[in-house]
């Protein structure tokens, strides 16, 4: 059996195997990838750079070949895979939770930053800074079991709507990125999320929305405690930070949770700078990418001067290190699946 | 195309695909599993319980069917997958490192616990307790980059020999367990190591020895710091504990690193008690297993009264919760591959 075998036969075999053993067989994804795997990306230098890179690292015997087990790709989440404006989705969740929990906390009416949330006073809330945000997160993310928190997140996502798009947040994931994740997996990559967001806020839905299973999601976390209650084991969420997966924390998290260095990293802000440095500045074929939010009409436009999701140092780093800066307005044919 | 297709044709297709696309295709593992997948396990109740469980959770449409993405299996390492006597392999590594590094640390001649190590005074070393062990670990595991540490571990394993068996430690992995890991993977399980040992001590070799890739190894860790040196990013290992993946830390680590609850957990000591509780006491088809070291002739015999790797509370838990206690002497036909 040689590699010169008629391609039609290979595809027939692939299809037969797929029918017999289920549609998720990687071989079928490979076969499907023969048509344009990135239909929501406009033709041009950016799309070309991505497909060229994938071709190089998957060409067996080529100078840049990377074995499948080393094809690790890491993606930021907020602003890279889904919308992060006008506020991080997880912050919207925290604010909604404060409102929902307020009847059980009459003291919040007179205590900042809860008072500001309940009065819709975003200016005072912002002025409460990191300390205030920390209090909000702990009050809304801790004090329950991991299973209870998972249900709270799932229930909230089912009903919450984005203030501008009036749609569930999970529909505000970027269609070109969903295609890119699938394209990479079809080419033997293992795709990971590496986000500053809470890992237990993401895991309940990343498999459904991005095809990324829980065990491939790295994120920030609070501490948990194992305990037996009524003869059943549970993990109780404590109001204490465990790990902040942002900035210089991202390569630390990648090393701790994945234990391999990625060959492709995709971010959109200065919080992703170190992840992209760690990925690309190590010799060998590597690809660093940044989403540049340039499309106020279809999504948002911001970079150096936004109060969060700021893309400033990382944009300078891109120029210096030849990372690909994805121009949302010109590179993406479609931003959302519902367009 | 129906499922009544001649089995020979299916196997031919599987073989063709395997030849074209590499030998690790899960389908081939499935085909091979038709012969006895656990040849190093003696026939009997233990082996039967394992294969019955796997049959139950993989039988599509059956009452205990578990979808492949939820087939998470977690394994302790020391004493469960490889030898842990007469001392944890990682402790042997630390002692060898102290000896190798001693010329650079003349002060160690007069400083405990290093003095005890250099003089081979195991009694004084043991008396230094947890504090002394902590000092040894930090002195030998921190102060270098992650890449440097990986090389140190790899080089050490290539030359170090077990004092009794006179073989590399990686040959002292248990053949029945290696077969079990492969058998589970062939049945759609994702196999993880969840060990009290250092995660960066295990990752350099677990894929080669157990078929478990780095991103599926959970373990204890020290902190690392991201830094740029001479224009290259590196992770520097700091002498500060980050996470202790033992006892009640195991379910915490499983939740943090894997984000799903296992359906099978395999340990050998009280340090695995909470992991097996977390896995099995949650409804649904679940399997908890413990290696009972009962074979002083081929390996070691110890349980309730050993100074480490103690199996006491977990043995009581096994009786209470119907976990499988694997009797090494009677259940394992072969302990090591070289026998």
Using an 8 Å Cβ cutoff, are B234 and B227 in contact?
A: yes
Q: What is the mean predicted confidence (pLDDT) over A306-317?
A: 94
Chain segment A227-237, per-residue pLDDT in tens: 999 999 999 99
Asked whether residue B287 carries a pLDDT value surpassing 90, the answer given is yes
CB neighbourhood size of B238 (10 A)? 15
Quote the ipTM score: 0.89
Asked whether residue B19 carries a pLDDT value surpassing 70, the answer given is no
Tell me, what DSSP letter sits at residue B308?
S
- Which helix (H) or strand (E) covers residue B58, if one does? helix B45-58
Split at pLDDT 50, 70, 90, the class of B61 is: very high
Please state, rounded to an integer, the average pLDDT across all residues of chain B.
Answer: 92
Q: What is the mean predicted confidence (pLDDT) over A298-323?
A: 95
Instruction: Outline where DSSP puts E strands in chain B.
Output: 72-75, 190-198, 217-229, 232-243, 264-267, 287-294, 301-302, 324-327
Query: Rounded to a whole number, what is the largest CA-CA distance in chain A?
Result: 77
Residues B293, B303: Cα–Cα separation, whole Å: 7
Verify whether the Cβ–Cβ distance B278 to A217 is below 8 Å: no
- Which helix (H) or strand (E) covers residue B135, if one does? helix B129-141
- The pLDDT value recorded for residue B117 is 97
CB pairs under 8 A between A and B: 123
What SS3 string covers chain A? CCCCCCHHHHHHHHHHHHHHHCCCCHHHHHHHCCCCCCCCECCCHHHHHHHHHHHHHHCCCCCCCCCHHHCEEEECCECCCECCCCCCHHHHHHHHHHHHHHHHCHHHHHCCCHHHHHCCCHHHHHHCHHHHHHHHHHHHHCCCEHHHHHHHHHHHHHHCCCCCCCCCHHHHECHHHHHHHHHHHHCCCEEEEEEEEEHHHHCCCHHHHHCCCHHHEEEEEEEEEEEEECCEEEEEEEEEEEECCCCCHHHHHHHHHHCCCCCEEEECCHHHHHHHHHHHCCCCCCEEEEEEEECCCCCCEECCCCCCCCCCHHHHHHHHHCCEEEEHHHHECCCCCCC
Q: Does A27 touch chain B (CB under 8 A)?
A: yes
Verify whether the Cβ–Cβ distance B14 to A17 is below 8 Å: yes
Asked whether residue A122 carries a pLDDT value surpassing 50, the answer given is yes
Q: Does B313 touch chain A (CB under 8 A)?
A: no
Q: What is the mean predicted confidence (pLDDT) over B257-279?
A: 98
Residues A20, A23: Cα–Cα separation, whole Å: 9
- pLDDT > 90 in chain A, percent: 88
Contacts of A252 in chain B (CB under 8 A): 223-226, 235
Comparison of pLDDT for B23 and B273, the residue scoring more: B273
Chain segment B108-153, per-residue pLDDT in tens: 999 999 999 999 999 999 999 999 999 999 999 999 999 999 999 9
Q: What is the mean predicted confidence (pLDDT) over A23-30?
A: 47
- The pLDDT value recorded for residue A283 is 85
Burial class (CB in 10 A: 0-12, 13-18, 19+), A22: exposed
- The pLDDT value recorded for residue B34 is 64
Token pair for residue B217? Answer: 């190894």
Chain A: give the shortest CA distance to residue B260, in Å: 7
Chain segment B88-114, per-residue pLDDT in tens: 999 999 999 999 999 999 999 999 999
Residues A268, A197: Cα–Cα separation, whole Å: 14
Q: What is the mean predicted confidence (pLDDT) over A84-88?
A: 96
- The pLDDT value recorded for residue A308 is 85
- The pLDDT value recorded for residue B308 is 86
Chain segment A198-213, per-residue pLDDT in tens: 999 999 999 999 999 9
What residues contact residue B169 under an 8 Å CB cut-off, 6+ apart? B82, B83, B89, B92, B157, B160, B161, B162
Backbone angles phi, psi at A285, to 5 degrees: -70, 120
CB contact residues (below 8 A), chain A span 141-200, against chain B: 146, 190, 199-200
Split at pLDDT 50, 70, 90, the class of A145 is: very high
Q: Is the C-alpha dihedral spanning A281, A75, A142, A117 positive or negative? A: positive
Asked whether residue A10 carries a pLDDT value surpassing 60, the answer given is no
Asked whether residue A19 carries a pLDDT value surpassing 80, the answer given is no
- The pLDDT value recorded for residue A307 is 85
- The pLDDT value recorded for residue B18 is 43
Asked whether residue B218 carries a pLDDT value surpassing 80, the answer given is yes
Asked whether residue B10 carries a pLDDT value surpassing 60, the answer given is no
∠ CA B75-A26-B66, nearest 5°, is 45
Note the pTM of the prediction, 2 decimals. 0.90
Contacts of A14 in chain B (CB under 8 A): 17
Residues A160, A155: Cα–Cα separation, whole Å: 9
Residues A196, A244: Cα–Cα separation, whole Å: 7
Residues B180, B174: Cα–Cα separation, whole Å: 10
Q: What is the mean predicted confidence (pLDDT) over B260-274?
A: 98
Asked whether residue A33 carries a pLDDT value surpassing 60, the answer given is no
B168 by DSSP, 3-state: which?
Answer: coil
Asked whether residue A251 carries a pLDDT value surpassing 80, the answer given is yes
Asked whether residue B279 carries a pLDDT value surpassing 70, the answer given is yes
Residues A296, A299: Cα–Cα separation, whole Å: 5
Comparison of pLDDT for B251 and A3, the residue scoring more: B251
Chain A: give the shortest CA distance to residue B128, in Å: 29
Q: Which of A2-11, A110-119, A188-197, B45-54 has the lowest mean pLDDT?
A: A2-11
- The pLDDT value recorded for residue A34 is 63
Please state, rounded to an integer, the average pLDDT across all residues of chain A.
Answer: 92
Q: What is the mean predicted confidence (pLDDT) over A147-172?
A: 98
Chain segment B76-86, per-residue pLDDT in tens: 999 999 999 99
Nearest by CB to A27, which of B10, B21, B274?
B21
What residues contact residue B262 under an 8 Å CB cut-off, 6+ apart? B72, B73, B74, B192, B254, B275, B278, B279
- The pLDDT value recorded for residue A15 is 44
Backbone angles phi, psi at A26, to 5 degrees: -55, -30
Asked whether residue B31 carries a pLDDT value surpassing 80, the answer given is no
- Which helix (H) or strand (E) covers residue B117, if one does? helix B114-118
Q: Which residue of A has its CA nearest to B283?
A: A232
């Amino acid at each position: 059996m040689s590699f010169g075998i008629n391609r039609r036969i290979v595809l027939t075999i692939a299809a037969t195997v797929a029918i017999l053993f289920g549609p998720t067989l990687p071989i079928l994804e490979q076969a499907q990838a023969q048509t344009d795997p990135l239909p929501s990306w406009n033709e041009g230098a950016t799309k070309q750079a991505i497909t060229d890179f994938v071709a190089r690292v998957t060409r067996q015997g080529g100078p840049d070949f990377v074995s499948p087990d080393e094809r690790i790709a890491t993606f930021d989440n907020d602003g890279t895979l889904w919308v992060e404006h006008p506020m991080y989705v997880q912050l919207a969740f925290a604010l909604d939770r404060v409102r929902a929990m307020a009847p059980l906390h009459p003291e919040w009416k007179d205590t900042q930053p809860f008072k500001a949330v309940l009065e819709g006073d975003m200016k005072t809330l912002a002025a409460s800074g990191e300390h205030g945000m920390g209090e909000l997160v702990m009050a809304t993310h801790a004090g329950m079991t991991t299973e209870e928190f998972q249900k709270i997140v799932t229930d909230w996502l089912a009903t919450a709507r984005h203030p501008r798009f009036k749609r569930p947040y999970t529909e505000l994931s970027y269609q070109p990125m969903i295609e890119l994740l699938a394209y990479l997996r079809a080419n033997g990559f293992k795709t990971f999320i590496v986000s500053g967001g809470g890992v237990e806020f993401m895991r309940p839905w990343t498999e459904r929305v991005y095809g990324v299973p829980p065990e491939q999601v790295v994120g920030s976390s609070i501490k948990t405690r194992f305990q037996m209650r009524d003869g059943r084991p549970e993990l109780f969420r404590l109001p204490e930070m465990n790990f902040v997966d942002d900035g210089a924390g991202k390569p630390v998290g990648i090393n701790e949770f994945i234990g391999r260095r990625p060959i492709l990293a995709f971010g959109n802000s200065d919080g992703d700078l170190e992840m992209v440095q760690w990925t690309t500045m190590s010799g060998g074929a590597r690809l660093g990418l940044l989403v540049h939010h340039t499309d106020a009409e279809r999504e948002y436009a911001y970079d150096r001067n936004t109060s969060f999701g700021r893309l400033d140092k990382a944009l300078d780093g891109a120029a210096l290190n030849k990372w690909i800066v994805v121009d949302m307005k010109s590179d993406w044919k479609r931003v959302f699946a519902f367009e």
